[in-house]
């Protein structure tokens, strides 16, 4: 009996002691320290930070009051290059916060030790255990981007395969693109009326893919205007693009056998200010009354200012842009509009080069893959399998 | 007549649009305004406060949304000053800093108010999360000085305003995600601080859910919200005028499109009939 | 030298920028910001040539007394005054903020900028009036969607609705929101995906040297 | 009425631009040409003080005076040299040299675009379309219809963009449905822009009637 009491009594006594000690420490004196403190090298960064994480002190006011007194108002992050200290205060953060990114003094990747100190309203503190050492290192591959790499490689492989096939002389069918068929009509009309053609490439810079597509289309348009001797006016917004446009138009005129008909004065820079450009192009339209106007490239809000003015002078207008916000305005105000991808397709189609046409086929395979992923993904999602949506969760 | 409508010179359209904006601005035309419940809730809450209580206004927007949110800010500020409440201004947007300062001073000057006693403008501090959480403990820890550099301890009104406990309501005027991304998760969830919002028309619908769950006291939708509030405080301003202009232009375009289509179908039917006979 | 070297340069720079995306290291980030700065250094050289074309255009107009030639003088006055004031002021301790440079900018360039932008209020109305005709099914859908969204957007839309119908006081704005969130967003998503597939394909053609029209013709 | 000369100039130029709505006229021509001139002047100033000086001149100078390492000098010299190649246009014999800077810039743009277009356009849009189906149990009937409609819309519209398949039969039908989604999308986007554009006009009218004439407060 006594023996049994001893067996039970010791643990009970110890437990009682603990309860008294614990409640004493929570009712007055130190707050409970934060728990589960860890310090890790921040992944996928340039090697300029260490991330410190912890779980809030049970006494944190955001701690839902499990058994704490809920008066911890903040944490101090302490750092040292020696586990024995001294530790220096790096940063104070408010209560409820559980993560801190240290990006101070990381040059040369020194090793650091961390502690997180809970601070309560009365100024009492409690330190966590020390963690470390940790070094900030940089990585050579961003692991969060592996899916994007896979997608890019897969799509590129498809494109290259299609181009390779086209090289061997396989012909592809290409559906009709209404805006393209109108190009000849527009040029013909300008010739008949003896009025110029206006071509604008929008506001994109030379690195903009839409601008490059537009340059291809311009090259073809220029070849035809050269044949008909119709003046082709190209007011430019970007200085670098202007220089490229001159090369493209000049070589189109030589290709068409009419190098003499090319005049440098028809390709000119106006200004690199959006609305000043719009004001000046409006002026040109009103005064020169072009019979056909091309808007191909990347556009912003000036799209409708240009297209409405162009419409008021009675020109045939053919637009094409990848700026999805401007498409509604071109659709309403222009006669023909190349919608988004059609702009790139047009630039490929006009070239009539089999290799480039081949990549159009590749684009279609790309779309087919996207469609398949969408349908499969939807079915899987409904059944609670999130593989596909996880794949497409882009890393930041 | 109908053929004329079909090929109406666009300058008539221009003239109508111009008049639709100028006349309401000039004559301060007031359309009947139906005050929606969420706006009414904000008004009722502020109306229910007693003299000397503190309202915090966050100017979380930039110049591009000024047309919609400034009228709202003016109306709410007028209501507060008229009720002799004390107002603290601040912003989470760096570009909102000057804008809020100018506006608060302008409205404060309309009333018999003293800076430091009736209002303080804190300005901007970087780090959204930290700013909001710190203010829950001690405002002076984040804003040791106000926007013009005066230590806030020198402002008499800040003597008894330490943190959210001393603030009756936060009104967030937002052009971005500051309501659902910052004030609700940190200030409401962390400190149970009452929050009301006034936002641009584009993002109103994103915030309806928070209204239903009671995380927001009230919500003012865009220029319309400003007009509603102006009606409640019985002092029409840019919101009322701008809303009339917006309404008239929208209805004008709708009517023009309908007229154009009626004309189109009438002429087409006439042409078809002509072909038959 | 004339064709091969540019193609090789294009390939090298293209591949480097693609790979850079996957590498988060310090060196890679430095390389990216360095190369992006290049644009700022290369740009001015092209700008000199570009402005030369503008000057030539207006100079010939003045010289030939062609139509509207006096306005070409206005271009020169604006250009020279702004450039001289700003450049000189920029070398003083004040820099280019404030002072006469900002005064000209705020009182001449800004109001014209804002007014050109505001012309859109007129053009959007005239475009709608002219083009929104129910000629085909597609045109009808375009027009109906636009009208519903406009009615829902008009501050007075809901109020008018409440006068006509006792049910669902906010129906017009709810309809507007539904259209914007559903059919509108889905077509935009598809457009955006199509564009990026097209853009990637075009980029690849450029890097591989298959598409080289930007080099111009000839040797 | 305003006593600030700047406000008067701004008001005059505002009216000049608005006069274009009636027809082309000397006032508009004046404003248009002034606008072009001033904006190019502004561009020149920014190019000098925020482009050439901080990014080319300072690094070159600092590396000579020893404030920056010497390799900086050569690294900065690369783009300067590339930029000079633009002037080759002025010498017909060497005009092909201009292809070098252009090839570099275009190559950079193309390389930059590939992974980023994949991430921001395709990955994010796919994820956004799929995500609602993962939480389909917690959605309301309206939201489920929305998600299904979204899927149909994306599939049909994307089908419209197929180039190498003839649009007839089933493909034709689906792409026709895609056009319908496109048109509703364009119409609603158009209608949704009116508000913003009118706000811009209200702001100009406020400036003229308020800041300038002082008729309205």
In order of C82, C163, D6, D163, the CA distances from A176 in angstroms are 50, 50, 55, 8
**Chains with at least 3 CB pairs less than 8 angstroms from chain B:** A, C, D
- State the smallest CA–CA distance between residue C218 and chain A in angstroms: 7
Pick from A47-56, A225-234, A308-317: least confident: A47-56
CA angle A215, A218, A221 (to 5 degrees): 160
Interface test with C, best of D99, D126, D139 (most C CBs within 10 A): D99
pLDDT at C217: 62
Q: What is the pLDDT of residues A170-212, one digit of tens each?
A: 677 888 888 888 998 999 999 999 999 999 999 998 888 899 8
Q: How far is A60 from chain D (nearest CA, A)?
A: 32
Residue C58 and residue C137 in one domain: no
Q: What angle do CA B250, B198, C124 make, to 5 degrees?
A: 20
- Residue A396 counted as domain residue: no
Chain A positions in Cβ-Cβ contact with residue B130 (cut-off 8 Å): 93-94
**How does DSSP classify residue A139?**
-
C59 touches chain D (CB under 8 A): no
Residue A102, SS3?
A: strand
Q: State phi, psi for A77 to the nearest 5 degrees.
A: -95, 125
Q: What is the CA radius of gyration of chain D?
A: 28
The total of other beta-carbon atoms located within 10 Å of residue D54's CB is 12
pLDDT of residue D108: 87
Asked whether the beta carbons of residue B247 and residue C156 sit closer than 8 angstroms, the reply is yes
How distant is the Cα of C100 from the closest Cα of chain A, in angstroms? 20
Residue C107 is assigned to a structural domain of this protein: no
Of A205, A328, A382, the CB nearest to D133: A382
Closest C-alpha among A309, A331, C196 to residue D189: A331
Residue A320 has pLDDT above 80, yes or no: yes
How far is residue C85 from each of residues B160, C45, C75, measured CA to CA in Å?
A: 52, 21, 16
Q: Are D113 and D125 in contact (CB under 8 A)?
A: no
Residue A154 sits in the same domain as residue A178: no
Q: Average pLDDT, stretch A12-24? A: 52
Quote the CA–CA distance of D123 and A377 in Å, as a whole number.
13
> Across the interface, which of A215, A311, A355 has its CB nearest the CB of C210?
A355
Residue A345 sits in a domain of what CATH number?
3.40.50
Residues A2 and A7: their CA atoms lie apart, in Å, by: 9
CB-based contacts of D116, cutoff 8 Å, min separation 6: C21
As a whole number of angstroms, the distance between CA A364 and CA C128 comes to 34
Q: Let me know: does C55 contact A271? Beta carbons within 8 Å.
A: no
D168: left (phi over 0), alpha (psi -120 to 50) or beta: beta
Contact C211 A216 (CB under 8 A): yes
Using CB atoms, pick whichever of B14, B26, B253 lies closest to residue D216.
B26
Q: Find chain B residues with C-beta within 8 A of D211's C-beta.
A: none
B63 Cα to chain C: minimum distance (Å): 13
- CA dist list (Å): B257 to A314, B8, B263, C153, C155: 21, 12, 10, 16, 19
Q: How many degrees, rounded to 5, is the angle at CA D135 between CA D133 and CA D141? A: 75
Chain D residues in contact with C110 (beta carbon < 8 A): 10
A314 and A179 in a common domain: yes
Q: Which residues of chain C approach chain B closer than 8 Å at the C-beta?
A: 121-122, 124-126, 128-130, 132-135, 143, 146-147, 150-151, 153-159, 162, 173, 177
Where does the pLDDT of residue A81 fall: very low under 50, low under 70, confident under 90, or very high at 90 and above? confident
Q: Are residues A296 and A344 in the same domain?
A: yes
CA distance B234 to B240: 11
Please state the separation of Cα A259 from the chain's center in Å. 42
Output the furthest CA–CA distance in chain D (Å, rounded): 74
pLDDT in tens, D47-69: 898 888 888 888 899 888 888 88
Chains that touch A (3 or more CB pairs under 8 A): B, C, D
Angle separating helix axes D169-206 and C137-153, nearest 10 degrees: 40
B interface mutation test: which of A71, A73, A94 has the most B CBs within 10 A?
A: A94
Number of domains making up chain A: 3
Concatenate the DSSP letters of all residues of A179-215 into one string.
Answer: HHHHHHHHHHHHHHHT--EEEEEET--TT-HHHHHHH
Tell me whether residue C210 is in a domain.
Answer: yes
Asked if B86 has any chain D CB less than 8 Å from its own CB, the reply is: no
Indicate yes or no: CB of A333 within 8 angstroms of CB of C43: no
Task: Report whether pLDDT(A49) > 90.
Answer: no
Judge contact between A395 and A145, C-beta under 8 A: yes
Q: Do residues A264 and A308 both lie within one domain?
A: yes
Q: Provide the chain C residues 174-203 that lie in CB contact (below 8 A) with chain A.
A: 188, 191-195, 197-203
Q: How far C195 CA lies from chain A's nearest CA (Å)?
A: 5
Residue C56 is assigned to a structural domain of this protein: yes
C24, C119, C217 ranked by CB distance to A46: nearest: C24
The domain in which residue C155 lies consists of 132-219
Instruction: Tell me whether residues C125 and B261 touch, CB distance under 8 A.
Output: no
Task: Report yes or no: C8 at the A interface, CB cutoff 8 Å.
Answer: no
Asked if the structure places residue A19 within a domain, the reply is: no
- A14 interfacial to chain B (CB closer than 8 Å): no
Assigned domain for C161 exists: yes
* In chain D, domain spans: 1-68, 135-217
Q: What pLDDT band is residue A15 in, cutting at 50, 70 and 90?
A: low
Domain count, chain C: 2
Task: Say whether residue D202 is in contact with chain B using an 8 A CB cutoff.
Answer: yes
Closest residue on chain B to C114 (Cα): B64
- Do A371 and A295 share a structural domain? no
Verify whether the Cβ–Cβ distance D188 to C180 is below 8 Å. Answer: yes
CA angle, residues C110, C112, C116, in degrees to nearest 5: 120
Name which of B90, B71, B89, B80 is nearest B43 in CA terms.
Answer: B80
Q: What end-to-end distance do the CA atoms of chain A give, in Å? A: 67
Residue A21 has pLDDT above 60, yes or no: no
Q: Which residues of C22-61 are buried (b: 16+ CB within 10 A; e: fewer)?
A: bbbbeebbeebeebebbbbbbbbbbbebbbebbbebbeeb
CA C106, C107, C113, C117 dihedral sign is: positive
For residue A86, whether the previous peptide bond is cis, meaning omega lies within 30 degrees of 0, is yes
Select from D29, D102, D117 the Cβ nearest to the Cβ of C196: D117
Query: Per residue in A338-361, pLDDT tens?
Result: 999 999 888 888 877 888 888 889
Name the residue range of residue A147's domain: 143-159+357-391
Task: Find tokens 């190349």 and name the residue.
Answer: A338
The alpha-carbon gap from A109 to the nearest alpha carbon of chain B, in Å, equals 26
Measured between CA atoms, the residue of chain D closest to residue C96 is D49
What average pLDDT does the structure give for chain A? 84
Interface test with D, best of C112, C139, C199 (most D CBs within 10 A): C112
Q: Could you report the average pLDDT of every consecutive run of 10 residues in chain D (217 residues)?
A: 92 97 96 96 90 87 86 87 88 85 88 87 86 83 87 95 90 94 93 86 90 84
From B21, B223, B238, residue closest to D201, measured CB to CB: B21
**Cβ proximity of A296 and A218 under 8 Å:** yes
Q: Indicate the pairing of strand A197-202 with strand A232-236.
A: parallel
Question: Which of C44, C66, C88 is at the close of a domain?
Answer: C66
Do A198 and A301 lie in a common domain? yes
State the DSSP code for D207: I
Q: In what order do the strands lie in the sheet with A197-202?
A: A267-269, A232-236, A197-202, A292-298, A316-321, A336-339
Burial status of residue D66 (CB atoms within 10 A of its CB: 0-12, 13-18, 19 or more): exposed
Q: What is the pLDDT of residue A9?
A: 52
Burial of A145-179, coded b for 16+ CB within 10 Å and e otherwise, reads bebbbebbeebbebbbebbebbeeeeebebbebeb
pLDDT at position B189 is 78
Confidence of residue A13 (pLDDT cuts 50, 70, 90): low
Residue D149: closest CA among B131, B60, C190, A78:
C190
Question: Is C75 part of a structural domain of the chain?
Answer: no
ipTM of the predicted structure? Answer: 0.86
Q: What is residue A91's three-state secondary structure? A: strand
Nearest beta carbon to residue A308 from set C127, C206, C210? C127
* DSSP output for A260-309: GG--GGGEEE--SSHHHHHHHHHHHHHHH--SEEEEEEE--THHHHHHHH
Search chain C and give the residue with CA nearest D52: C41
The whole-model pTM stands at 0.84
Residues from chain B that touch A73, judged by Cβ atoms under 8 A, are 137
Q: Which two tokens stand for residue D117?
A: 């277009």
Least CB-CB distance to C127: which of A142, A255, A332?
A: A332
pLDDT band, very low/low/confident/very high, at A374 (cuts 50, 70, 90): very high
Residue with the two structure tokens 């700013």: B131
* Mean pLDDT to the nearest integer, A272-281: 94
Higher-confidence position of A210 and C216: A210
CB pair distance less than 8 Å for D83 and C180: no
Say yes or no: A127 and A152 in one domain.
no
Between chains, do D42 and C115 touch, taking CB under 8 Å as contact?
no
Q: Which of D83, D104, D158 sits opposite C193 (nearest CB)?
A: D158
Q: How far apart are CA D108 and CA A353, in angstroms?
A: 24
Task: Give all chains having 3 or more CB-to-CB distances under 8 Å with chain C.
Answer: A, B, D
Q: How many Å apart are CA A285 and CA A293, to the nearest integer? A: 9
D43/C47 CB distance under 8 A: yes
Locate the chain A residue with the closest alpha carbon to B131: A94
Q: What is the pLDDT along chain B (277 residues), one digit of tens a residue?
A: 677 777 788 999 999 999 999 998 888 777 777 788 889 999 999 999 999 999 999 999 877 677 788 899 999 999 999 999 999 999 988 777 778 888 899 899 999 999 999 999 998 887 777 788 888 888 888 888 888 888 888 999 998 898 898 999 999 999 888 888 889 888 887 788 999 999 987 677 677 778 877 889 999 988 888 988 999 999 888 888 888 899 999 999 999 999 999 988 888 887 777 655 5
Q: Are C207 and C14 in contact (CB under 8 A)?
A: yes
Length, in residues, of chain B: 277
Residues A55 and A103 in one domain: yes
């Amino acid at each position: 009996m006594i023996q049994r009491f001893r067996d039970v009594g010791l643990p009970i006594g110890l437990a009682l002691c603990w309860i008294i000690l614990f409640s004493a420490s929570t009712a007055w004196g130190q707050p409970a320290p934060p728990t589960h403190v860890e310090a890790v090298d921040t992944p996928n960064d340039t090697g300029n930070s260490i991330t410190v994480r912890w779980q809030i002190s049970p006494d944190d006011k955001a701690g839902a009051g499990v058994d704490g007194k809920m008066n911890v108002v903040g944490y101090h992050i302490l750092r040292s290059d020696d586990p024995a200290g001294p530790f220096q205060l790096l940063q104070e953060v408010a209560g409820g916060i559980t993560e801190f990114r240290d990006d101070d003094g990381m040059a040369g990747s020194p090793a650091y030790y961390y502690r997180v100190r809970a601070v309560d309203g009365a100024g009492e503190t409690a330190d966590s255990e020390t963690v470390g050492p940790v070094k900030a290192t940089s990585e050579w591959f961003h692991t969060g981007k592996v899916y994007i790499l896979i997608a890019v490689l897969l799509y590129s492989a498809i494109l290259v395969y299609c181009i390779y096939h086209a090289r061997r002389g396989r012909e592809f069918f290409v559906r009709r693109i209404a805006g393209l068929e109108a190009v000849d009509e527009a040029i013909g009309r300008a010739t008949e009326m003896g009025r110029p053609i206006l071509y604008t490439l929008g506001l994109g810079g030379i690195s903009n893919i839409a601008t490059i597509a537009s340059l291809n289309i311009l090259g073809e348009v220029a070849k035809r205007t050269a044949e008909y001797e119709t003046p082709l006016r190209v007011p430019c917004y970007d200085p670098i693009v202007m220089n490229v446009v001159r090369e493209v138009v000049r070589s189109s005129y030589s290709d068409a056998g009419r190098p003499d008909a090319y005049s440098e004065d028809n390709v000119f820079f106006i200004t690199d200010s959006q609305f000043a450009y719009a004001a000046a192009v409006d002026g040109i339209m009103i005064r020169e009354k072009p019979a056909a106007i091309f808007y191909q490239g990347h556009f912003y809000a000036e799209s409708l200012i240009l297209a409405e003015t162009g419409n008021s002078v009675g020109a045939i207008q053919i637009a094409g842009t990848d700026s999805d916000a401007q498409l509604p305005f071109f659709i309403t105000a222009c006669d023909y509009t190349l919608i988004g991808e059609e702009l790139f397709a047009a630039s490929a189609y006009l070239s009539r080069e089999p290799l480039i046409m081949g990549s159009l086929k590749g684009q279609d395979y790309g779309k087919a893959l996207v469609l398949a992923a969408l349908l499969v993904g939807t079915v899987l999602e409904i059944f609670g399998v999130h593989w596909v949506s996880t794949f497409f969760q882009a890393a930041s | 007549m109908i053929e004329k409508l079909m090929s109406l010179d666009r300058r008539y359209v221009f003239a109508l649009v111009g008049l639709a904006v100028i006349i309401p601005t000039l004559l301060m035309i007031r359309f009947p305004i139906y005050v929606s419940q969420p706006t009414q809730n904000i008004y009722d809450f502020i109306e229910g406060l007693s003299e000397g209580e503190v309202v915090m206004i966050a100017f979380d927007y930039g110049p591009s949304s000024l047309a919609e949110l400034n009228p709202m800010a003016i109306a709410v500020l007028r209501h507060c000053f008229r009720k002799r409440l004390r107002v603290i201004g601040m912003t989470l947007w760096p570009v909102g800093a000057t804008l809020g300062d100018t506006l608060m001073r302008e409205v404060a000057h309309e009333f018999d108010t003293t800076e430091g006693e009736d209002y303080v403008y804190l300005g901007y501090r970087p780090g959204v999360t930290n700013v909001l959480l710190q203010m829950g403990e001690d405002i002076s820890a984040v804003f040791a000085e106000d926007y013009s550099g005066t230590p806030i301890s020198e402002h008499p009104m800040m003597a008894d305003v330490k943190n959210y406990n001393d603030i009756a309501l936060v009104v967030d005027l937002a052009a971005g995600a500051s309501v659902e991304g910052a004030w609700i998760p940190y200030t409401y969830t962390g400190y149970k601080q009452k929050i009301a919002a006034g936002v641009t028309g584009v993002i109103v619908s994103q915030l309806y859910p928070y209204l239903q769950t009671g995380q927001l006291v009230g919500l003012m939708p865009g220029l319309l919200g400003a007009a509603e509030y102006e009606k409640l405080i019985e002092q029409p301003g840019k919101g009322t005028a701008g809303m009339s202009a917006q309404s008239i232009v929208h209805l004008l375009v709708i009517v023009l499109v309908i007229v154009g289509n009626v004309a189109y179908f009438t002429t087409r039917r006439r042409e078809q009939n002509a072909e038959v006979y | 030298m004339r064709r091969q070297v540019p193609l090789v340069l294009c390939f090298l720079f293209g591949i480097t920028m693609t790979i850079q995306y996957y590498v988060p290291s310090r060196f890679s980030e430095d390389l990216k910001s360095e190369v992006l700065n290049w644009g700022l250094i290369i740009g001015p050289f092209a700008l000199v040539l570009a402005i030369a074309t503008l000057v030539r255009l207006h100079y010939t107009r003045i010289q030939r007394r062609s139509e509207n030639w006096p306005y070409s003088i206005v271009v020169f006055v604006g250009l020279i005054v702004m450039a001289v004031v700003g450049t000189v002021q920029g070398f003083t301790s004040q820099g280019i903020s404030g002072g006469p440079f900002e005064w000209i900018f705020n009182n001449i360039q800004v109001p014209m900028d804002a007014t050109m932008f505001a012309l859109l209020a007129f053009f959007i109305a005239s475009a709608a009036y002219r083009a929104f005709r129910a000629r085909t099914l597609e045109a009808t859908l375009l027009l109906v969607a636009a009208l519903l969204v406009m009615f829902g957007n008009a501050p007075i839309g809901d109020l008018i609705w409440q006068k006509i119908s006792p049910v669902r006081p906010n129906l017009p704005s709810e309809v507007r929101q539904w259209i914007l969130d559903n059919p509108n967003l889905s077509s935009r998503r598809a457009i955006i995906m199509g564009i990026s597939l097209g853009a990637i394909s075009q980029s690849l053609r450029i890097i591989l040297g298959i598409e080289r029209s930007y080099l111009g013709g000839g040797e | 009425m305003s006593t600030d000369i700047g406000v008067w100039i701004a008001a005059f130029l505002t009216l000049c631009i608005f006069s274009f709505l009636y027809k082309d006229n000397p006032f508009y021509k004046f404003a248009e040409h002034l606008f072009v001139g001033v904006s190019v002047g502004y561009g020149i100033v920014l190019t000098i003080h925020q482009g050439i000086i901080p990014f080319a001149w300072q690094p070159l100078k600092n590396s000579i005076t020893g404030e920056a390492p010497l390799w900086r000098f050569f690294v900065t010299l690369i783009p300067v040299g590339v930029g000079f190649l633009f002037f080759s246009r002025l010498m017909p014999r060497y005009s092909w040299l201009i292809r070098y800077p252009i090839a570099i810039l275009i190559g950079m743009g193309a390389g930059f675009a590939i992974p980023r277009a994949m991430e921001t356009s395709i990955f994010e849009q796919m994820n956004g379309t799929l995500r609602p189906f993962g939480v389909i149990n917690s959605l309301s009937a309206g939201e489920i219809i929305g998600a299904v409609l979204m899927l149909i819309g994306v599939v049909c519209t994307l089908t419209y963009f197929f180039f190498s398949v003839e649009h007839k039969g089933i493909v034709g039908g689906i792409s026709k449905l895609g056009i319908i989604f496109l048109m509703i999308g364009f119409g609603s986007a158009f209608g949704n822009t009116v508000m913003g554009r009118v706000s811009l006009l209200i702001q100009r009218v406020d400036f003229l009637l308020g800041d300038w004439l002082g008729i309205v407060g």
